[in-house]
Amino acid sequence: MLSRFTLQLLSKENVMKKMLTVVMVVAFALSAGSALASSKVKCTVDKVDGNTVTMTCKKANKLNAGDKVTVKAAKKKAIEGC
């Protein structure tokens, strides 16, 4: 039969495992939430001059000077003919 001290030790280990699980779940939720928080901003290209592109964007207030952005060109539908 296990002593009372051994039972207390085992229950503390279970509590620690549960706490660690909760911490990991919260960390994952926060990282997933930050990924979802990044928003998309729709823009129209106004001017291209060498490596400089000037765009007009909706919701431009979500951008700050120095932010790194990824730009994807809209897919154009292929025109099929006979």
Global pTM reads: 0.41
Predicted pLDDT at 46: 92
Summarised one tens digit per residue, pLDDT across range 43-57 is: 888 999 998 888 888
Cβ burial 44-75 (10 Å sphere, 16+ → b, else e): eeeeeeeeeeeeeeeeeeeeeeeeeeeeeeee
Residue 36 has pLDDT above 60, yes or no: no
Q: What is the mean pLDDT of residues 32-42?
A: 65
Summarised one tens digit per residue, pLDDT across range 58-74 is: 888 888 888 888 888 87
Predicted pLDDT at 24: 87
